[in-house]
Structure formats: C-alpha cells, structure tokens
C-alpha cells in the first residue's frame, strides 16, 4: 500500500522529508539523518528552529577564518561540502579545491560503475579511492582502479551483483540521468527512497576493509 502520509511545515504540505529538504535548499540525506539518527524534529532538521541543546559541531579554520562547521565553511565559500571535504582529505589545498569547483563541475561518465565502501556509495572505483587514499597506500592510482573494477567484474560473472552503470540504473529504475558528480548524492537518495538501502548493496560491488 502506498504511503499517503504528508508532512506540514510552516503551513506547507510535503509528501516526504526529502521533498521538504529540497524546498528549503538542504541535502535530503542530511535532513533524514538528523531526524532518524539524531532524533531532531523536522523543523530543527530543516534549520527552521534551533538545533537541540548539546549538539556539537566541529569548528574548522580555513585560511585564517574560523567557521562553526565544515558545512558553514562550504556554504560561505560557495563550494559543495562533499567536494571541499573530499579534496582536502586527499591532499588538495583549499585554494585548489575552490578553484576547481568554480571553474568546472566534474563530469560523471554514464558508464561509471558505482561501488560501496563502509556504508557509502561512490560514483566509481576512482572516486572511492580518491576519497580513501589509504587504500592506494602510495601505489599507482590507475592500477588500483583497474584492480577494483576487475574484482567487481568477477563478482558480476559469478552472479553475486549486477554491477550496473549509472546510466543503466537510471534507465532500469526510471531515475533522471545525471551528468555531474555533485548530482550523485541526490540520485542515491532517490534510489533509496524508491527501493530501500538493500537495492544498492545488491546491485553494486562492496569493498570490505
């Protein structure tokens, strides 16, 4: 039976938390996590009311300026939070991260095969390794990508996973095609919304650390 429950925020009616998050310009995944994982009210999760007392956000200092959180830093610097965090994590300076973000959005190839690692889905083996540099351990990134893709291919041949590409998943589940990496998180949220977390692990290669 289809869920017909609606949510009301500031007199507006929404069919889901995700719809409400998008209306207020917030990441749906973040809003859902605040409600389900941290127990916030929907209004708090949407930043319409003060967050619960005792909530702790780690302050960050970038180029001598202190921000209350990485999210605030990304917002004020005009860059996607995930982009800023991932590029700093792999050793790219803040200046380079901002320069790259403002000059060109990273394109995502439709044939890229998403992969799971520690509960997170990445657009491709390359993105997974860039976000987790310890997995390369000073080796050749290109060789590591090839090795990871080979493992996924063997798992597909054994019938363990489907190992579908981004475009194939979009077509199979009626999702809009995406062309840029910064659209990937919302794409994942829509996939989980329709089919649940299990659909991701059943379709993609899972890298166990």
pLDDT tens-place string over residues 131-145: 888 888 777 888 889
Across the chain, mean pLDDT equals 79
Place 103 in a pLDDT band, splitting at 50, 70 and 90. Answer: very low
pLDDT tens-place string over residues 30-52: 888 888 877 889 998 888 887 77
Asked whether residue 3 carries a pLDDT value surpassing 70, the answer given is no
Q: Which residue has the higher pLDDT, 38 or 125?
A: 125
Query: In the chain, at which residue ranges do the beta strands (DSSP E only) sit?
Result: 7-9, 12-14, 60-62, 65-67, 115-117, 120-122, 205-207
What sign has the CA pseudo-torsion 199, 203, 204, 209?
Answer: positive
User: How far is Cα 109 from Cα 112, in angstroms, rounded to an integer?
Assistant: 5
User: How far is Cα 141 from Cα 126, in angstroms, rounded to an integer?
Assistant: 8
């Amino acid at each position: 039976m289809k869920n017909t429950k609606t949510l009301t925020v500031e007199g507006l009616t929404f069919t889901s938390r995700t719809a409400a998050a998008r209306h207020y310009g917030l990441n749906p995944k973040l809003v859902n996590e605040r409600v389900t994982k941290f127990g916030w009210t929907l209004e708090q999760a949407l930043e319409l009311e003060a967050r619960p007392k005792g909530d702790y956000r780690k302050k960050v200092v970038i180029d001598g300026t202190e921000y209350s959180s990485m999210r605030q830093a990304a917002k004020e610097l005009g860059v996607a939070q995930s982009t800023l965090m991932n590029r700093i994590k792999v050793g790219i300076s803040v200046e380079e991260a901002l320069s790259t973000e403002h000059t060109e959005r990273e394109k995502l190839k439709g044939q890229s095969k998403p992969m799971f690692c520690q509960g997170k889905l990445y657009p491709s083996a390359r993105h997974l390794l860039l976000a987790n540099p310890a997995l390369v351990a000073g080796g050749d990134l290109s060789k590591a990508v090839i090795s990871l893709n080979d493992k996924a291919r063997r798992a597909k041949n054994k019938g363990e996973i489907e190992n579908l590409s981004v475009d194939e998943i979009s077509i199979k589940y009626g999702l809009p095609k995406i062309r840029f990496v910064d659209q990937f998180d919302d794409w994942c949220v829509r996939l989980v919304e329709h089919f649940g977390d299990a659909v991701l692990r059943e379709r993609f290669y899972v890298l166990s650390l």
